Each structure stands twice: as C-alpha cells, then as structure tokens.
Amino acid sequence: MSLLTIKNLSVDFDTAGGMFRAVDGVDINVDQGDILAIVGESGSGKSVSMLAMMGLLPWTATITADEMSFDGIDLRDLGPMARRKVIGRDMSMIFQEPMSSLNPCFTVGFQIKESLKIHLDLDRAERKKRAIELMELVGIPDPERRLKAFPHQLSGGMSQRVMIAMALACKPRLLIADEPTTALDVTIQAQILDLLADLQKETGMALILITHDMGVVAETAQRVQVQYAGQKVEEQEVRGLFSDPHHPYTAALLAALPERATERHLPTIPGVVPGQYDRPQGCLFSPRCKFADDKCRKTPPPVQPPDLGLARCHYPITRQEDVA
C-alpha cells in the first residue's frame, strides 16, 4: 500500500469573477522512500494541490477528490483537531521563503521546540537535547548558541536549515518541500539539496519536491510529474522524462532550456498559460501546441497508458516519430 494516495483531486477558488479551477483532476501516488518532483510553471497548481492536502487553504477554496489518504487515514473529512495530529508530525512541509516563514518574534530554538512540545511526550531537557540534535543533523555549526538566535540573525541558507530542522522534528514519514531553494544562491542551493537527499536516504522518508527548476529535478528526483494549468500532463521516471518526453508541453519546456540550445535562437513556446477567462475547451495546451489540430481544440484529451508517461494528450510523442 502506498503512503500517500490522491485520486482526481480538484480545487476551485471562489473569486470575484466566479469559480476558478486551480487544480483539475490530479492524481498523486507516493510510496515510502520515494522522491517525487512536481514541476510546472507559476499557476500550474503545484503548490495548491499540496496545500489542499495539508488543509492549509483559505475558506474560499472547495476541495474535491475521489480519494485522499495518507497512511490509511482519510484526509477528506478529517476535522481540524485530528488533522493537527497528523500534519507537522507524520507529514510536514518546508516553504520557499525561509526568511518570511519563521516567526521573527521568537528564537529559532523556541520554534523548533514548539512542534516537539505539541506532538511528542518529552520533558523540557529532552526537548532541548532533541533540538540541538536536529540542528546538528541539518549542519548548523555551534547549535547550542544558535538555539538562542532570532531569525534575523541568520542568513538565508541557515534559516532554510532551521525550517528543515523544524519539519524533521517529529521524524515525519512524508516531507513536502515547496520550492526549497528558489530564494537561495546556487552554492547554498547545492548544499540544501544535498542535505535533503542525504536526510531522505538516512530516514527513509518520502519526499515531494515542488519546483520549477528543471536542473533541480534532474539532480534530485526519482520520479517526475509535470503539471500544466492545474492538470497533470505527464509522469515518468526522471531519466525517461529528460531523454524521451511524451507530452508536447514537456518536450517544449525541455527544448526551451538555454543549456540545451543548439542555435543562438532558443525554441520558444508561444502564448501564455491560460487564465480564468480564456480556458480552452479541449486540451488546455492546444493554443500553444505546435501539433494541435481540431480534435485537440474540441475534445479534452485522454490519459495515455503508463508506457507513454500517462501523457494527457491525443497524440503523444514517441521516439520513432522523433527520428522520422
């Protein structure tokens, strides 16, 4: 049985201009020890689907799903109190902006110990010991002194390490990292990614990495799921995705990477991601797709079998076609 199963998840936001569908029929499956990356551009619904699962969306959001279970617990009709027992303990999350996700009024030691206090049955001295242990684990030098530091006294990389320490405090079985390195410099990004990969190996937890950076995906993930305008358009093992993409969007995205460019002019994807008012009728990518025909514009595409990367496309790309 898999650790996390989500089937046909949809999230609608009640906006001034009517309902807006941010996530549209997304399936997610994560096993113990998996590293899954969810990639997509801004507005593709990658963060919203995770926030929906954590129950962190505002009341304007309507969440529907055929199945949403974590470790056998049904997350759909879990009350707030029962949910608090799961999130932060078995399932935790780190966010993009480490500087703004820490509370500036409390020391980092207090913030790490807070989740230990809520979820675990430890006394004061044990909590302090565990907090120091955690800070050592994430590679913060001189942890005993740093426990008393306030967030503004730490650099971006150090704050993100503190966030990771907080997320790991109760030995979660699933860690969701939402753009964990976007706000950091490359050398620090490399440190944090290595740290996450090492911790994942050590503890055997599952890791969901949400990102828009194809390089981060290639270096860290095992399995990749590509999202576009709220839909999952493709899912593959990481090597397969980069060498043999099946959905035209994935292929176009990879071709647009500057390091894959063969000429001075980069291949581009014309147009922009559809918004609330210009959502196409058939395939959501059809207005920007160079292979699209009338069928694509009228009928929503089916999901292809797993050997075609579960591509949501009428005419998935296969390697033979590329050669021809």
Partner 1 sequence: MNAVVSAEGLARHYEVGGGLFSKPGVVKALSEATFQIEAGKTLAVVGESGCGKSTLARLVTLIEEPTAGSLNIDGIEATPDNWDRLRSHVQIVFQDPYGSLNLRHRIGAILEEPLKINRPDMPAKERQAKAREMLELVGLRPEHFDRFPHMFSGGQRQRIAVARALMLEPKLLVLDEPVSALDLSIQSQVLNLLLDLQERLDLAYLFISHDLSVVRHVADDVAVMYLGRPVEFGTKEQVFSNPRHPYTKALLSATPSTEPNPDKMRIKLEGELPSPLAVPDGCPFAPRCWKAKTKCREQRPELMGEHPAACWYPEG
Residues interacting with partner 1, by CB under 8 A? Answer: 41-42, 155, 157-158, 185-191, 193-194, 212-216, 218-219, 238-239, 242, 252-254, 256-261, 264-269, 272-273
Nearer to partner 1 among residue 42 and residue 320 (C-beta): 42
Residue 38 CB, shortest distance to partner 1, in Å, is 15
Helices (H), 20-155: 46-54, 80-86, 98-101, 108-119, 124-137, 143-146
Measured in degrees and rounded to the nearest 5, phi and psi for residue 61 equal -90, 135
Residue 206 CB, shortest distance to partner 1, in Å, is 19
DSSP at 300:
P
Nearer to partner 1 among residue 88 and residue 157 (C-beta): 157
CA dist., res. 278 & res. 273, Å (int): 9
Q: In terms of DSSP bridges, do strands 174-178 and 91-94 run parallel, antiparallel, or are they unpaired?
A: parallel
Residue 148 CB, shortest distance to partner 1, in Å, is 20
Nearer to partner 1 among residue 64 and residue 191 (C-beta): 191
- The torsion of the CA quartet 231, 235, 241, 247, rounded to 10 degrees, works out to -50
Residue 122 CB, shortest distance to partner 1, in Å, is 32
Nearer to partner 1 among residue 74 and residue 219 (C-beta): 219
Contact 311, 304 (CB under 8 A): yes
Dihedral sign computed on CA atoms, order 144, 149, 154, 157: positive
Residue 73 CB, shortest distance to partner 1, in Å, is 34
Nearest residue to 47 via CA among 192, 176, 193, 238: 176
Residue 70 CB, shortest distance to partner 1, in Å, is 28
Residue 221 CB, shortest distance to partner 1, in Å, is 9
Nearer to partner 1 among residue 67 and residue 237 (C-beta): 237
Nearer to partner 1 among residue 69 and residue 191 (C-beta): 191
Nearer to partner 1 among residue 110 and residue 242 (C-beta): 242
Q: Residue written as tokens 């935790």?
A: 92
Q: Which residues are 227's β-sheet partners? A: 232
Residues 6+ apart with CB under 8 A from 210: 37, 38, 46, 47, 50, 176, 177, 178, 179
Nearest residue to 247 via CA among 287, 289, 300, 298: 289
Nearer to partner 1 among residue 120 and residue 190 (C-beta): 190
Residue 229 CB, shortest distance to partner 1, in Å, is 12
Residues 6+ apart with CB under 8 A from 247: 226, 233, 234, 285, 309, 311, 312, 313, 316, 317
Nearest residue to 34 via CA among 203, 159, 157, 152: 203
